[in-house]
Amino acid sequence: MNVLIVEDERSLAKELAFFLYQQNFQCEVARTGHEASELLAVNTYDFVLLDLGLPDCDGLDLLTEAKAQEITAAIIVLTARGEVADRIRGLDLGADDYLAKPFSLPELLSRMHAITRRRFGVAKPLIQFGEFALDLQNRQLLHQGQEVTLSVKEFDLLSYLVLHKNRVLTRLQLTEHIWGNLPEDGYESNYIDAHIKNLRKKLTRYSELPWLETVRGLGYRFSL
């Protein structure tokens, strides 16, 4: 998943990016409101970590602008301001969560997981389909309690499809959300098919996989 970190404090932004990268997120950093607004217009993100105290604008204005653009990313407001008024205003403007500095990085991660579950209507961290169970928190796929070895991208692909169950995901959407916003010339998505093929091959070794279907001309759908 793609994360935009909007934070003017360079060392904090770097730490956040490093931590999230370790957790298999693709990260980009904006140090000003202007830069953030530009990146939001250019790229597609799953999460925006928004610091309210930006050098060139109020973070809450950026939040308003982003929501007006109907962005699909979840927004977590990060700020040193612990005041209730700010917190309420942020949440009212459409932020998905609020973290007061200083916060611990594992706490941020578990909030992000919680938001993901909430957004996709997943009650438990373990999502069951047939004899398989997908553990989002620990990044594991289990078959009858035994771990199935998947590559990082295969796991990301499967979990993204599972989370967006019953809806068609285009190759473009999958590329953007899983491979991040690579600035490349042209649109190449055939390699997604190769990953899906590998995923199918690995999973059908254990049991049939009726949930993952190819929607001709569109993309893929995980029906659950």
Which residues of the chain form contacts with other proteins (CB under 8 A)? 38, 40-44, 69-72, 153, 164, 166-170, 172-173, 182-188, 190-191, 193-195, 215, 217-219
Which residues sit opposite 215 in a β-bridge?
219
**Least separation, in Å, of the C-beta of 134 and other proteins?**
20
Distance, in Å, from the CA atom of 208 to the CA atom of 129, rounded to the nearest integer, reads 11
**Least separation, in Å, of the C-beta of 97 and other proteins?**
20
Phi–psi pair at 70, nearest 5 degrees = 60, 40
Beta strands in the chain (DSSP E): 2-6, 26-30, 47-51, 74-79, 97-100, 126-129, 132-135, 140-143, 146-148, 168-170, 212-215, 219-222
Residue indicated by tokens 């939001």: 40
Distance, in Å, from the CA atom of 108 to the CA atom of 114, rounded to the nearest integer, reads 10
Closer to other proteins at the Cβ: 42 or 80? 42
Written as one string, the DSSP assignment of 24-41 is T-EEEEESSHHHHHHHHH
Closer to other proteins at the Cβ: 44 or 137? 44
Q: Is cis: bond before 102, omega within 30 of 0?
A: yes
Closer to other proteins at the Cβ: 184 or 208? 184
Closer to other proteins at the Cβ: 57 or 126? 57
**Least separation, in Å, of the C-beta of 166 and other proteins?**
6
**Least separation, in Å, of the C-beta of 70 and other proteins?**
4
**Least separation, in Å, of the C-beta of 130 and other proteins?**
22
Closer to other proteins at the Cβ: 71 or 109? 71
Nearest Cα residue to 59 out of 6, 20, 4, 16? 6
Closer to other proteins at the Cβ: 103 or 191? 191
**Least separation, in Å, of the C-beta of 146 and other proteins?**
26
